[in-house]
Amino acid sequence: MNVGLTHLLNLPGVAVESCNSFQDSVSFQLRVLAKGTCCPHCRNYTQELHQIRPIVVRDLPVYGKEVYLKLPRRQFYCRVCQRYITERLQFIDWRRKYTQRYEENIYSQINHFNIEQISRQQHLGVEQVKNIFNHIRQKRQKQHLELSKKEVLL
């Protein structure tokens, strides 16, 4: 594990194993620190690893280079529910291909640039930019809704 790079990356629950630098991009190989996960259905803690699939997610750029994180998507087995459960990482939304901070960053750029400009700058397809934008907007609306529900309860 690379302590300096892990500190620099500043994401919870993961460590940088290695780093590869290319002309226009950098990729970090990450390791998940937790040995197991809590079952979202019954809260049982399990360490029974069923399978690991490597995934790549986009993160915020550094020094003008695109950043990609290579990490394991781990599936555990819960004996109580007799179900396979996929681990959720707190810095990536469910089934997204980007870190939350990357998506938030793209979303905030819409105040200064149009979708085509962001697409060119980030080397993302126009549809990908729209998809990120919609994802964050829906998330905000949901959070706003939950917040106003709480206010009603108070």
Report if residue 76 touches Zn ion, rule: CB under 5 A. no
d(CA 101, CA 89): 13
Q: Is 19:29 a contact under the CB 8 Å cutoff?
A: yes
Could you give the string, one character per residue 20-39, with x where binding to Zn ion holds by CB under 5 A and - elsewhere?
A: -------------------x
Closest approach of Zn ion to the CB of residue 48, in Å:
11
Smallest Cα–Cα separation from 16: which of 26, 29, 25?
29
In this complex, which beta carbon is closest to Zn ion, that of residue 11 or of residue 78?
78
Q: In Å, what is the CA distance from 51 to each residue of 75, 76, 112?
A: 5, 7, 43
Report if residue 80 touches Zn ion, rule: CB under 5 A. yes
In this complex, which beta carbon is closest to Zn ion, that of residue 19 or of residue 81?
81
User: Of 2, 25, 29, 44, which one interacts with Zn ion (CB under 5 A)?
Assistant: 44
Closest approach of Zn ion to the CB of residue 79, in Å:
8
- Residues near Zn ion (CB under 5 A), total: 7
Q: Which residues bind Zn ion (CB under 5 A)?
A: 39, 41-42, 44, 78, 80-81
